[in-house]
Amino acid sequence: MTVVAPLIGVLALAAVSAAGARIGLTTLFCVVIPYAAILVFLIGVVWRVLSWARRPTPFNITTTCGQQHSLRWIQSSPLENPHTRLGVIGRVLLEVLLFRSLFRNVKHEFVSRENAAPRLAYKASPWLWLGALAFHYSFLVVFVRHYRFFSEPTPRSLQIVEMLDGFFQIGSPTIFVSGFVLLAAATFLLLRRLLLPQLRYISLPVDYFPLFLVIGIALTGILMRYTAFRTDTAAVKNLCIGLMQFKPPAATEPIGAIFFVHLTLVSCLFAYLPYSKLSHMMGVWLSPTRNLIGASRMRRHINPWNYPVAVHTYEEYENEWRDKMKAAGIPVDKE
Amino acid sequence: MADIQLPPPEELAKVSFQPRPQGWMDPCVEFRPGTWSYAGKPKALETVGMPNPREWSPTDADWKLPENWKEIILQGLRERLDKYRSLKVFLDICVRCGACADKCHFFIGSGDPKNMPVLRAELLRSVYRNDFTLAGKLLGKMVGARELTMDVVKEWFYYFYQCTECRRCSVFCPYGIDQAELTMIGRELLNLVGININWVMEPVAKCYMTGNHMGIPPHALKDNLEFFADDIENITGVRVDVPINKKGADVLFVVPSGDVMADPGIYTLMGYMMLLHESGLNYTWSTYASEGGNFGLFTSHEMIKRLNAKIYAEAKRLGVKWILGGECGHMWRVLHQYMDTLNGPADFLEVPVSPITGTRFEHARSTKMIHIAEFTADLIYHGKLKLDPSRNNAYKVTFHDSCNPARAMGLFEEPRYVIRNVCNHFYEMPENTIREQTFCCGGGAGLGNDENMEMRMRGGLPRGNAVRFVHERYGVNLLTAMCAIDRAVLTTLMEYWVPEVKVSGLHELVGNALVMKGEKKRELNLRSEPLNEGSEDTSD
Ligand code: HEM
Ligand code: SF4
Ligand code: SF4
């Protein structure tokens, strides 16, 4: 159920949009749904970020992953335990751009031994880090490359991206590596979830759903570019530019069903993003263990809702123990 | 006391990592002896005015909760969602990538999937989804939502008290999701309806009334300190003074009270006394602020504040300039990350300056409290201490980074610098088990009680293993740690996993090596064991 339900969900989305193409619901699938998705996405992102940002961080709960800034002659770790704002910016950027913490990943292993308790060994385990980096960066490149459909002429900077991405040119059309990397990385993440018993145990249907979506998007994209399902890119460009200028072409030339599927899945991914775990894209910036300055003894961190509490005062304490204290020769405030 | 039968270490270390065939969504806990802690006693709860004091046990079918317990907990969660960005963000963004899963010592030692930090979080997150998100309300199980039932509450209790709030998981999570934060808030929610453990509540109540966890009254504290001064005199021939509640002292000295009572912490305490005497610092102990540890951290944020308030209050009453703190783990999490925020600003104190070296401890300029390892490292660096490391030659030392000084402070180099100056034989454990990746002792956050012994040994398995590694490779026979809980629970842990290794604090080693003015020829170490022959030749 956990795996099948989201798979059926994605297949159903694909089937419905393909059917839409067949019966010519072009306006619905190529205009209404994309517009709605972008709207839902934008509202969602703003709402989500505000829902976090308006909540206070009452305490400085930095997770320190390096030497503190203390004595002058001890080298501190400016990025792992930052004591300056610049350091924190560096730390968060490392997380966002290079997945710093994920890079630390190690795997434990019990090595059995004769007549003794087994030994624990740790091995670096960069696979998740590599897979995640490949996944996210290829997603980014694919995303950026789509700008081609929204601009006329294609900007110079994009041509450079395309040139790099199309490095392995083998005839025509140019092969863009990023699409295949995206497909492979998403498949890797899916297999990880399916094959590692612990990971399978923690995975929910909503963990498989975005993976199927992305795989579906990458597959349909690749089909349109390299196979017999090739799409009329001029028509697509015409549509996209129209959408951008809020003047969707009244009667679009028929575009293939595969394009309908592709566009619908992309719309779903965007609409889904801010309301799901994919909001980690914004959340990672706001994580209090990473984005606070570590030097909490240097600067006072303010808790906006700090309130007075009942305490046991020294006066009460001395009242309870005065005789004993005096007998023991401990100084007291009231004789 | 609970008498828990433990299997031999070779057996316990055979951990099965095969998850149950049925998923985690159906709550299920079995309160097996040795894996949970006794419930808080009503008297302790009454002392600090906490809700629903009563006699009960986790093994009872009926936990005697107030009728509207569910409403109370959900209301509590709603309030905390508004007060803590951490809670909301951590509940919203986990991608279940599993990077944290095998980073928890309790998971490594037990194989229980609900001890993966990600699933410990899901126990709470599933209820959050059910009652606070639209998707959860509409789609239920599909998005991992669960209703808060009594069985879920029991699961919370079991697993939030199988987390030592060590924060190791948060080092590895790509978003820094900190299960310790969720455990703290989860325990806070349970406390709203009177669910807690006695090993936390008793110290809380005692700390509130007498100033320290052990419940040591003022005159007894003085007796104990005098007694240690006698011991020091026997060993060194030097009489150290014991200033108590002294107005006009420059510095208030606060330690975890465990070191006043129990072997081997007392040797560390003797080390402090010798060091402070020798350095000539004008300091004082306090009988009121006689505990830096703070089990409020394992109870609620409000309790942290209530128990911590005495430290600044006493500093103000005695008119000291700044505060010095002893070796303790969770105590330093509170002092470093909570005290100033909750009970500051300490504008009546001065920025700590060592009168001996002139060093201004700028990094503590707001909180005005420094760690004794920082103080001692600074003394050694400036050549203010005469040290004879050969007096520790009987020891082959390794150093256990305590979770909180490691992951909530980054206090790594100071203690290592001190160790290298007071010992000749120091060996690090493997790098995945020290510094920010250090493994917990398995008994922090109130779990260091006897009835929880099996879980402690399981949780301490990775640490035990790392110590055994250096024991076998380098002959390490002493595990040094800057934490009072460590000194208590690591001792038991070592007896089980690596019986050849003893446990000490940092300043016990300092005390051994410290050459005091006017001392007699040392024949004994602070444990009153004979020093190695030929160890007196000063090798500076
Ligand atoms: C900016 C910092 C980001 C970080 C640190 C980050 C990190 C991660 C990690 C560690 C995973 C887990 C892989 C797994 O499931 O095993 C993941 C999953 C995912 N991320 Fe990101 N991500 C970021 C931004 C984004 C952005 C901008 C998107 C845009 C769509 C995105 C989309 C996804 C998707 C679709 C998944 C699902 C993969 C899965 O479920 O396994 N992420 N991310
Ligand atoms: S590492 Fe972080 S994001 Fe990944 S499963 Fe654990 S808590 Fe969730
Ligand atoms: S804080 Fe420590 S004990 Fe708790 S889940 Fe994380 S690793 Fe485990």
Kindly tell me if the per-residue pLDDT of A143 is higher than 70: yes
**Residue B117 near residue B101, CB atoms below 8 Å:** yes
Q: Which of helix, strand or coil describes residue B99?
A: coil
Q: Is B180 in the pocket of ligand 3 (CB under 6 A)?
A: yes
Residues within 6 Å of ligand 1 by CB: A 95-96, 99, 102, 132, 136, 139, 189, 207, 210-211, 214, 273, 278, 280-281, 284; B 95, 97, 174
Kindly tell me if the per-residue pLDDT of B534 is higher than 70: no
Using a CB–CB cutoff of 8 Å, tell me whether B309 touches chain A: yes
A96-110, A225-239, A269-283, B95-109: which range is least confident on average? A225-239
Segment B156-163 mean pLDDT: 97
Taking the C-alpha atoms of residue A236 and residue A252, their distance in angstroms, rounded to an integer, is: 9
> For a pocket test of ligand 1, which of A48, A135, A270 has the largest count of ligand atoms closer than 8 A to its C-beta?
A135
Q: Nearest CA of chain A to the CA of B160: how many Å?
A: 18
Q: Which of B23, B317, B410 is nearest residue A81 as measured by Cβ atoms? A: B410
Mean pLDDT of chain B: 95
> What is the distance in A from the centroid of ligand 1 to the CA of A78?
26
Q: Contacts of residue A130 in chain B, CB cutoff 8 Å? A: none
Mean pLDDT of chain A: 92
> What is the distance in A from the centroid of ligand 1 to the CA of A97?
12
Inspect the interface and report whether the beta carbons of B310 and A311 lie closer than 8 Å: yes
Give domain limits for chain B.
9-30+51-195, 205-513
Q: Is B96 in the pocket of ligand 2 (CB under 6 A)?
A: yes
pLDDT at A250: 67
Task: Band the pLDDT of B80: cuts 50, 70, 90.
Answer: very high
pLDDT at A171: 64
Using a CB–CB cutoff of 8 Å, tell me whether A127 touches chain B: no
Task: Band the pLDDT of A237: cuts 50, 70, 90.
Answer: confident
Q: Which of B13, B86, B219 is nearest residue A325 as measured by Cβ atoms? A: B219
Place of tokens 């500076």: B540
Using a CB–CB cutoff of 8 Å, tell me whether B288 touches chain A: yes
Taking the C-alpha atoms of residue A237 and residue A226, their distance in angstroms, rounded to an integer, is: 18
pTM of the model: 0.94
Using a CB–CB cutoff of 8 Å, tell me whether B94 touches chain A: yes
pLDDT at B523: 94
Q: Is B89 in the pocket of ligand 2 (CB under 6 A)?
A: no
Taking the C-alpha atoms of residue B312 and residue B72, their distance in angstroms, rounded to an integer, is: 33
Q: Is B176 in the pocket of ligand 2 (CB under 6 A)?
A: no
Pairing type for strands B251-254 and B478-481 reads: unpaired
pLDDT at A209: 96
pLDDT at A329: 95
Q: Contacts of residue B217 in chain A, CB cutoff 8 Å? A: 321, 324
> What is the distance in A from the centroid of ligand 2 to the CA of B119?
9
Q: Which of B222, B314, B345 is nearest residue A300 as measured by Cβ atoms? A: B345
pLDDT at A238: 84
Q: Contacts of residue B176 in chain A, CB cutoff 8 Å? A: 63, 95, 101, 287-290
Taking the C-alpha atoms of residue A138 and residue A180, their distance in angstroms, rounded to an integer, is: 8
Residues of B numbered 343-372 whose beta carbons fall under 8 angstroms of chain A's beta carbons: which are they?
344-345, 359, 361-367, 369
Q: Which of A104, A204, A309 is nearest residue B143 as measured by Cβ atoms? A: A204
> What is the distance in A from the centroid of ligand 1 to the CA of B512?
53
Task: Band the pLDDT of A243: cuts 50, 70, 90.
Answer: confident
Task: Band the pLDDT of B276: cuts 50, 70, 90.
Answer: very high
Segment B286-311 mean pLDDT: 97
- Count other Cβ atoms within 10 Å, centred on residue B356: 16
- Give domain B9-30+51-195's CATH architecture: Orthogonal Bundle (1.10)
pLDDT at B10: 87
Q: Contacts of residue B178 in chain A, CB cutoff 8 Å? A: 61, 63, 289
Length of chain B: 540
Q: Contacts of residue A309 in chain B, CB cutoff 8 Å? A: 302, 305-306, 309
pLDDT tens-place string over residues B320-348: 999 999 999 999 999 999 999 999 999 99
Segment B528-539 mean pLDDT: 62
> What is the distance in A from the centroid of ligand 1 to the CA of A9?
20
In a domain, A334, yes or no: no
φ, ψ (nearest 5 deg) of residue B145: -95, 140
Inspect the interface and report whether the beta carbons of A301 and B410 lie closer than 8 Å: no
Inspect the interface and report whether the beta carbons of A297 and B88 lie closer than 8 Å: no
| Sequence-ordered alpha helix ranges (H) in B218-300 | 218-236, 258-261, 265-279
Half-sphere exposure (Cβ direction) of B339: Cα atoms closer than 13 Å: 28
Using a CB–CB cutoff of 8 Å, tell me whether B272 touches chain A: no
pLDDT at A22: 87
Kindly tell me if the per-residue pLDDT of B263 is higher than 70: yes
Sign of CA dihedral A192, A193, A194, A197: positive
Ligand approaching nearest to the C-alpha of A282: 1
Q: Which structural domain, as residue segments, surrounds residue A88?
A: 4-327
pLDDT at A168: 67
CATH number, domain of A301, equals 1.20.950.20
Q: How far is CA A318 from the centre of its chain?
A: 56
Segment B467-482 mean pLDDT: 97
Instruction: Let me know if A112 is exposed, middle or buried by CB neighbors in 10 A (0-12, 13-18, 19+).
Output: exposed
Residues of B numbered 367-406 whose beta carbons fall under 8 angstroms of chain A's beta carbons: which are they?
367, 369, 374, 377-378, 381, 406
pLDDT at A253: 63
Residues 6+ apart with CB under 8 A from A175: A166, A168, A169, A226
Percent of chain B with pLDDT over 90: 93
Q: Which of helix, strand or coil describes residue A251?
A: coil
Q: Is B104 in the pocket of ligand 3 (CB under 6 A)?
A: yes
Kindly tell me if the per-residue pLDDT of B540 is higher than 60: no
pLDDT at A252: 59
Which of B16, B89, B123 best tests the A interface by mutation, with the highest count of A CBs <10 A? Answer: B89
Ligand approaching nearest to the C-alpha of A268: 1
ipTM score of complex: 0.95
Closest residue to atom 5 of ligand 2, CA basis: B96
Closest residue to atom 33 of ligand 1, CA basis: A278
**Residue A59 near residue B338, CB atoms below 8 Å:** yes
Number of cross-chain residue pairs from A and B with Cβ atoms under 8 Å apart: 315
Residues 6+ apart with CB under 8 A from A188: A131, A134, A135
Kindly tell me if the per-residue pLDDT of A18 is higher than 50: yes
Task: Band the pLDDT of B1: cuts 50, 70, 90.
Answer: very low
Kindly tell me if the per-residue pLDDT of B407 is higher than 60: yes
Element (H, E) at B502: strand B502-504
Taking the C-alpha atoms of residue B343 and residue B19, their distance in angstroms, rounded to an integer, is: 45
Instruction: Let me know if A31 is exposed, middle or buried by CB neighbors in 10 A (0-12, 13-18, 19+).
Output: middle
Q: Contacts of residue B98 in chain A, CB cutoff 8 Å? A: 128, 196, 198-199, 202
Percent of chain A with pLDDT over 90: 70
pLDDT tens-place string over residues A31-82: 999 999 999 999 999 999 999 999 999 999 999 999 999 999 999 999 999 9
Using a CB–CB cutoff of 8 Å, tell me whether A38 touches chain B: no
Taking the C-alpha atoms of residue A10 and residue A319, their distance in angstroms, rounded to an integer, is: 72
pLDDT tens-place string over residues B191-218: 999 999 999 999 999 999 999 999 999 9
> What is the distance in A from the centroid of ligand 2 to the CA of B114?
14
Residues 6+ apart with CB under 8 A from B273: B225, B228, B229, B232, B240, B242
Inspect the interface and report whether the beta carbons of A198 and B461 lie closer than 8 Å: no
Residues linked to residue B322 through DSSP beta bridges, in sequence order = B251
In a domain, A220, yes or no: yes
Task: Band the pLDDT of A170: cuts 50, 70, 90.
Answer: low
Q: Contacts of residue A206 in chain B, CB cutoff 8 Å? A: 142-144
Which of B337, B349, B403, B472 best tests the A interface by mutation, with the highest count of A CBs <10 A? Answer: B337
**Residue A54 near residue A285, CB atoms below 8 Å:** no
> What is the distance in A from the centroid of ligand 3 to the CA of B439?
10
Residues linked to residue B387 through DSSP beta bridges, in sequence order = B514
In a domain, A335, yes or no: no
Task: Band the pLDDT of B4: cuts 50, 70, 90.
Answer: confident
Using a CB–CB cutoff of 8 Å, tell me whether B174 touches chain A: yes
